[in-house]
Amino acid sequence: MSKDICIILLTILKDEEWLSIIGERGCYVLTHDRRIRYKPNEIEAVEKFGIGLFVIIGKLRLLNSLKISFSHYPKL
C-alpha cells in the first residue's frame, strides 16, 4: 500500500482526532515538535493508528524543512 501526502497545517481538531484521520488515510506525519516524545497521548495515537512519524529537528523553519523533506519523498 502506498502512502499519500496529506497536509494539515492548521486544525481545530484535537491531536488524537486528526491523527486518527491521518492513520485512516495511511499518511505520514512530519512534525517539528521535538518534545512529542513527552506527550503520551500523541505517541499513543501514533502507535494506535499505525502512523509513520518523522520528527524534523534543526534550526530550519518548518516550511524550509518541509520543502527539503518533500524533495526526498520518492525515496521514502
Domain ranges of the chain: 15-75
Interatomic CA distance for residues 56 and 25, integer angstroms: 21
The C-alpha atoms of residue 67 and residue 69 are separated, in whole angstroms, by: 5
Say how far apart CA 20 and CA 7 lie, in whole Å: 14
Q: What is the pTM for the complete model shown? A: 0.62
Closest to 15 in 3D by CA, of 45, 52, 50 = 45
DSSP E strand boundaries for the chain: 28-31, 52-55
Identify the residue with better confidence: 55 or 67: 55
19-58 pLDDT, tens digit each: 888 888 888 887 778 888 888 988 898 999 998 888 877 7
